[in-house]
Amino acid sequence: MKEEKERDAFVQRVLRLVAPGTPFREGLDSILGAKTGALIMVGYDEGVRRITDGGFHIDCPFSAAHLYELAKMDGAIILSDDGKRILYANVHLVPESSIRSTETGIRHRTAQRTARQTGKLVVAISERRNVITLYQGDFRYTLRDIGVILAKANQALQILEKYKSVLDQSITDLSALEFEELVTLNEVAKVIHRIAVVLRVKEEIETYIKELGTEGRLISMQLEELVSNIEEEAELLIRDYSYGADSPAPEEVLRELKSLTSDELLEHDPIIRALGYPGTVNIQDEPVAPRGYRILSKIPRLPSTVVQKLIERFKNLSSVLTASVDDLDEVEGIGDIRAHTIKEGLKRIQEQVFIDRHI
């Protein structure tokens, strides 16, 4: 799992540098289109100096045109750490031959060994295969054609839309059960599982968006419209059903859920354990009462501080629902007008939930 996180961090970092619309990507695409091939290193230090031989010291501002022209020479191009200056061109890189490489071509083998020896980002452009490959440390990433990425992103959006529709219905069903006081841990686990799946698809689409750069703006807008409040909904749900005061914070639970494998997510036990429940609890039959964070947050113009005070006073949603206007009025920060607003708001939410449940 640690290796996966490190790889994700590497991918996100390099995609920002080479995203379409950036000068660096413009230069790479020019080289790719000319079929000249290139070897480009981002960063220079003493370790890099020791494995370089020959070349020209240039030290000029970076531009896509300069990169394209210099790539016509056989050797490697070395940029500054921030990629804003071209330091050397036509350099011969001589990494340790004992460093393992899984590549077959000379250029790509040199790039991989150099990346592993120096820890710098190395870009290899194949003149025959028409492919851009990025290396850093032990990580390797191949840039895909924008058309292919767009197709994958649109497909993922369609999948996300279906998952989100199922999730919305699951949340509506859970809300109805909350008003009927019939919730079990099984229903809670189902909803959290579907939230976790939606979040995973969202993360995959966000990676596509970074790789698309300026071409990914429409995808980004569609994603925002679909799942703009999904993490907030998840945190409120976790606050409603976490086991007790000693349970992890909602943010920590979400991080743990994101770290679960696909197989673990299919089982409800890891989800319930993430909420702090003991392993001996009966998921199918264990009744649970929501504290009320999620439902109360749906009441318009009701501050979160007031929601917190309501829950501290009444402990759960059921008690808030049965409380009279006078009972609500006694809570600090709630006057007569707000007490009536809460009663009316909960009534409208309940009516809407029961309507949506059968649509």
Given 113, 143, 173, the domain boundary residue is 143
Q: Are residues 165 and 83 in the same domain?
A: no
Domain of 253 in residue numbering reads as 145-290
**What tens digit of pLDDT does each residue of 68-122 get?**
999 999 899 999 998 999 999 999 999 999 999 999 889 999 999 999 999 999 9
Q: Is the pLDDT score of 358 beyond 80?
A: no
**What tens digit of pLDDT does each residue of 167-192 get?**
999 999 999 999 999 999 999 999 99
- The verdict on residue 57 lying in a domain is yes
- The verdict on residue 164 lying in a domain is yes
- Displacement of CA 201 from its chain's centroid (Å): 9
- The verdict on residue 354 lying in a domain is no
Q: Are residues 68 and 99 in the same domain?
A: yes
- Return the HEC string of the chain: CHHHHHHHHHHHHHHHHHCCCCHHHHHHHHHHHHCCCEEEEECCCHHHHHCEECCEEEEEECCHHHHHHHCCCCCEEEECCCCCEEEEEEEEECCCCCCCCCCCCHHHHHHHHHHHHHCCEEEEECCCCCCEEEEECCEEEEECCHHHHHHHHHHHHHHHHHHHHHHHHHHHHHHHHHHHCCCEHHHHHHHHHHHHHHHHHHHHHHHHHHHHHHHHHHHHHHHHHHHCCHHHHHHHHHHHHCCCCCCCCHHHHHHHHHHCCHHHHHCCHHHHHHCCCCCCCCCCCCECCCCCHHHHCCCCCCCHHHHHHHHHHHCCHHHHHHCCHHHHHCCCCCCHHHHHHHHHHHHHHHHHHHHHHCC
Given 274, 290, 306, the domain boundary residue is 290
Cβ atoms 226, 157 nearer than 8 A: yes
CATH number at residue 240: 1.20.1260.110
Q: pLDDT tier at 1 (50, 70, 90 boundaries)?
A: low
Q: Are residues 111 and 210 in the same domain?
A: no
What's the structural domain count of the chain? 3
Given 121, 143, 165, the domain boundary residue is 143
Q: Are residues 153 and 282 in the same domain?
A: yes
Q: Are residues 16 and 123 in the same domain?
A: yes
- The verdict on residue 358 lying in a domain is no
> Residue 89 forms beta bridges with which residues?
56
Q: Are residues 200 and 256 in the same domain?
A: yes
**What tens digit of pLDDT does each residue of 209-227 get?**
988 888 889 999 999 999 9
Amino acid at 22: T
Q: What percent of the chain is predicted at pLDDT more than 90? A: 65
Q: Are residues 38 and 22 in the same domain?
A: yes
**What tens digit of pLDDT does each residue of 42-58 get?**
999 999 999 999 999 99
Amino acid at 145: D
- The verdict on residue 359 lying in a domain is no
Q: Are residues 156 and 251 in the same domain?
A: yes
Q: Are residues 281 and 299 in the same domain?
A: no
Q: pLDDT tier at 159 (50, 70, 90 boundaries)?
A: very high
CATH number at residue 298: 1.10.150.20
- The verdict on residue 317 lying in a domain is yes
- The verdict on residue 357 lying in a domain is no
CATH number at residue 79: 3.40.1700.10
Q: Are residues 69 and 136 in the same domain?
A: yes
**What tens digit of pLDDT does each residue of 219-270 get?**
999 999 999 889 999 999 999 999 877 778 899 998 888 888 888 888 888 8
Q: Are residues 68 and 167 in the same domain?
A: no
What is the pLDDT, as a whole number, of residue 18?
A: 85
Q: Are residues 335 and 275 in the same domain?
A: no
Q: pLDDT tier at 65 (50, 70, 90 boundaries)?
A: very high
Q: What is the mean pLDDT of the chain?
A: 90
- The verdict on residue 219 lying in a domain is yes
Say how far apart CA 272 and CA 36 lie, in whole Å: 56
